Homo-oligomer: A and B are copies of this chain.
Amino acid sequence: MSQFAPFYPPQRTLMGPGPSDVSPRVLGALCRPTIGHLDPKFTQLMEEIKTLLRFAFQTSHPMTFPVSAPGSTGMEMCFVNLVEPGDKILICRNGVFGERMRQNVVRAGGEAILVDNPWGDPISIDEVEQTLKNNPGIKAVAMVHAETSTGVCSDVAKLSALAHQYDALSIVDTVTSLGGIPLKVDEWELDAVYSGTQKCLSCIPGLSPVTFSERALKTIDARKTDVQSWFLDINLVRAYWDGQGGRTYHHTAPINQMYALHEALLMLHEEGLQPAWERHRYHHQALAAGLEALGLNFVVDEPYRLPQLNSIWAPEGVEEAQVRQQALHQYDLEIGAGLGEFAGKAWRIGLMGNGCHERNVRLCLTALEDGLRQQGVQVTSGAAKQALDHRYQAKS
């Protein structure tokens, strides 16, 4: 007899930094019959995915498509295509993903010029401007819109405008922002933008939507050296994703994952961007009221908080890992740990996409209240529930 058996995952509620709860509609699309990656029906689907992604990104860029791999490859695609050896790239670093950008620049032979801001703070516009002034010839400014490691939102519209003033491109990480907070690629004139599917789109993880402006593509066309990655070379990838004159085989697209992405984008399209953004803000405010009632403090100052990713300090003396483990065991609830500088010090509570609703807010606060009490923290009984009832009744 085999020592192996089919794997039946537990039914979790995912309120960490992603993946978020995937809708049954998306899972239902995921497991439809696989067809070929050059099937005429599949190429129709690819066109529709591109159109829906343009809607989600609020852009008309023709080169808008999902990379067939996780969000980190969307990041790497932007850097390996735009950076040539010796290029100066300004990296705004205020969390884990800014540092990852730096590593991408260096591995592509570029020179990373850093603007460091404390974790939990947004990127400083003034410091970026000063750095652009002091370092002529910067080719691109790389920034994270929604830092998943800290929960802070930076003003990428202003930063991108600033980059353009100094003849630099903008490279923008929107992994956690897409679908959760306002993101307007064309209006903000963002040049190379990548995202993920497992955050506010609530699709399964494994794909990375990207969009490139005309300006970014011109810069890539003018390269003197080959792109170092075969898989991520946009000149090769676009022969597959671009409908003009037939499609050239590049790699075998992850067919079923594309079904899922299409369905997730369809759901966003049905809801509308503005309602989706408002929904995230609304439930975030309820969560925040409940967290405050529990005596918990946000890492990020109020104006810069991401509604979809709430970083909270674990109170002094509390074993934060035990609280998360208890939530997992008693409530099948996943809450995120702190990452990097915040490891062991903070929790990250995701309210993303399909997981952003009243039931999850209530579940999370119930579990946290239990966990805190277990850790000997004095919690006013019913205070969080009262705060929530007040919030939700006010609106209903």
Q: A72-B231, A251-B70, A254-B70 are in contact. Are A22 and B6 (CB under 8 A)?
A: no
Assess the A34–B10 pair: CB atoms within 8 A.
Answer: no
User: Which B residues touch A108, using CB under 8 A?
Assistant: 228
Chain B residues with Cβ under 8 A from A104's Cβ?
230
Given contacts A107-B226, A231-B72, are A34 and B14 in contact (CB under 8 A)? yes
Q: How many residues of A contact B (CB 8 A)?
A: 81
Q: Is A12 an interface residue (CB 8 A)?
A: yes
Query: For residue A37, which residues in chain B have a CB less than 8 angstroms away from its CB?
Result: 19, 205
Chain B residues, CB < 8 A from A107? 226-230
A103 touching B230, Cβ below 8 Å? yes
**Is A115 in contact with chain B by the CB < 8 A criterion?**
no
User: Would you call B256 and A204 a contact (CB within 8 A)?
Assistant: yes
Judge whether A229 and B230 touch: CB under 8 Å: no
Question: CA–CA, A275 to B254, complex, Å?
Answer: 28
Cross-chain contact A269 with B2 (CB below 8 angstroms): yes
A78-93 CB mask vs B (1 if < 8 Å, else 0) is: 0010000000000000
Q: In the complex this chain forms, how many copies of it are found?
A: 2
**CB proximity of A233 to chain B, nearest CB, Å:** 8
24 contacts between A and B (CB under 8 A): A6-B266, A7-B32, A7-B45, A7-B259, A9-B41, A10-B35, A12-B33, A14-B35, A22-B33, A27-B34, A30-B31, A38-B337, A69-B69, A69-B70, A72-B230, A72-B251, A107-B226, A198-B252, A205-B255, A206-B252, A206-B257, A249-B339, A254-B257, A257-B257
Besides the contacts A68-B206, A69-B231, what 13 more A-B pairs have beta carbons closer than 8 Å? Answer: A2-B270, A7-B263, A8-B32, A9-B32, A9-B33, A14-B34, A19-B36, A19-B252, A68-B70, A100-B230, A204-B257, A205-B253, A206-B206
